[in-house]
Amino acid sequence: MKIAVASNNGMVAEHFGHCHSFSIFQVENNQIVQIDSILNPGHKPGFIPDFLDDLGVSVIVSGDISGGAIEIFNEKGISVITGAKGHAKIAAEQYLQGSLKTNSAVCHEHIHQGECGN
């Protein structure tokens, strides 16, 4: 399994689409065995879900994310966890432990880069 955490300098990004990079955690037997950081290829509607799906990601973790992106991820069978905060690795570990639960942090509009209209 691969978990992608939207990240800014190792911390969970507040907004999925405008994160600097994705911390990709390769998981085997419920343990993180490899960590990679991949730069965000750009905030284009629908592109990032395809990009992460092509990498084999099965779970997305972020502070918040647009409803449209959630729909695309769900269509691909990729789980989306929102409302995460803190260090990206800790968020991935919390997900694996079952203690990281999604909340309703969904962006409905985007005014400026990095600013959520919630």
Q: Where are the domains of the chain?
A: 2-107
> Where residue 114 falls among pLDDT bands split at 50, 70, 90?
very low
Q: Do 3 and 80 form a contact (C-beta atoms < 8 A)?
A: no
Dihedral sign (CA 74, 79, 81, 86): negative
H or E segment to which residue 13 belongs: none
pLDDT for residue 104: 57
pLDDT for residue 68: 87
pLDDT, tens digit, for every residue of 50-71?
999 999 999 999 999 888 889 9
Burial tier of 8 (Cβ tally within 10 Å: 0-12, 13-18, 19+): middle
pTM across the whole model: 0.86
Cα of first residue to Cα of last residue in the chain, in angstroms, is 31
CATH architecture of 2-107: 2-Layer Sandwich (3.30)
Write down the mean pLDDT value for the chain.
Answer: 87
pLDDT for residue 45: 74
